[in-house]
């Protein structure tokens, strides 16, 4: 006969199992989107079909995001000629802070503004920064949350793997 406490414990256990299996969107088609870009134009994800795409969700108030920006720029310059592109998605409602950060830390890759958090929601962003790797067929292959020193090597490994396909 199950005591009240043991039943409660089992309920908690099953909830835990269900909760922890709620997962990320690996190996599924990357959700499409179209966002205003820096400089005034509009960028649509579909225009990069056939290339390896790395989407980086960032904000100027996020310290690790700011730290990885110059490294992302070198990665972009290195792999762009090989069919790679880096799409930087700024998640702030006001573009003013992003623009003033980019003035101090210039980058050469395209930056788009997700002011209403539509795309962040679509990609189920779980932390800042979040880096998404999309293969040439348009499928999400890896989602990496946060940045610490050395992660840029992880990024480059993933890019090389996807470029070879």
Partner 1 sequence: MSLARRIFGLTAAVGLLSQLWACSSIEPWVKPYERERLADPIMAFDRNPVSSAYMDHVIEVRSASRGGSGAAGGGCGCN
Partner 2 sequence: MQLNLPLRRGGRWLAPVAAGALCLLYGAPSRTDVLPEDRADALGTYYSGGGQDITGMSVLVRKKVGDHVSLSYNHLEDIVSGASIDVRTSGASPYREKRAQDGLNGEFLYGKTTYTLGVTHSYEPDYRSNTASFGISQSMFGDLTTVSMTYHRTWNNVFRMTCLIDDPKLDYPCVEKVHDTSFGKKDMDERSYGVGLTQILTRNSIISANFEVITDQGWLSNPYRSIMYATPGSGAGFALGPEVDPSTRTSNALGLDYKYFLPWHAAVDLQYRYFEDTWHIRAQTAQVGYTQPWHNFTFDGDFRFYTQTHADFYSDLFSSANVQNFESRNRELSRFNSFTVGTGVSYEFHIPHAAFLSRSTANFRVDHFLFDYKDFRDALLIDPSKGMAAGTEPLYSVQLNVMQLFFSVWY
Sites of contact with partner 1 (CB under 8 A)? 3-6, 8-9, 12-13, 15-16, 19-20, 22, 57, 59, 61-62, 91-93, 97, 114, 117, 120-121, 125-128, 130
83, 48 in Cβ contact below 8 A?
no
* Residue 57 site contact among partner 2, partner 1, none (CB < 5 to 8 Å, cut-off depends on kind): partner 1
Residues in contact with 5: Cβ distance below 8 Å, sequence separation at least 6, in sequence order: none
Which residues in the 23-62 window bind partner 2 by CB under 8 A?
none
56, 86 in Cβ contact below 8 A?
yes
CA 47 vs. chain centroid, Å, equals 18
Taking contact as CB under 8 A, which single stretch among the options 26-34, 81-89, 132-140, 141-149 is the one that binds partner 2? 141-149
CB closer to partner 1 out of 69 and 162 = 69
What one-character DSSP code corresponds to residue 56?
Answer: E
According to the binding rule CB under 8 A, does residue 146 interact with partner 2? yes
- The dihedral sign for the CA sequence 118, 119, 121, 127: negative
* Residue 91 site contact among partner 2, partner 1, none (CB < 5 to 8 Å, cut-off depends on kind): partner 1
What one-character DSSP code corresponds to residue 71?
Answer: H
């Amino acid at each position: 006969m199950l005591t009240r406490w043991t039943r409660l414990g089992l309920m908690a256990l099953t909830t835990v199992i269900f909760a922890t299996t709620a997962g990320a969107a690996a190996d599924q088609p990357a959700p499409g989107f179209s966002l205003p870009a820096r400089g005034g134009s509009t960028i649509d994800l579909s225009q990069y079909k056939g290339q390896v795409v790395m989407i980086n969700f960032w904000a100027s108030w996020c310290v690790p995001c700011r730290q990885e920006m110059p490294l992302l720029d070198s990665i972009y310059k290195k792999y762009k000629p090989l069919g790679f592109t880096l799409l930087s998605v700024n998640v702030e409602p006001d573009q003013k802070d992003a623009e003033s950060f980019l003035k101090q830390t210039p980058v050469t890759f395209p930056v788009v503004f997700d002011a209403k958090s539509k795309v962040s929601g679509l990609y189920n962003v779980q932390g800042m920064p979040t880096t998404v790797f999309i293969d040439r067929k348009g499928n999400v292959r890896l989602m990496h949350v946060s940045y610490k020193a050395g992660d840029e090597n992880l990024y480059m490994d993933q890019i090389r793997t996807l470029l070879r396909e």
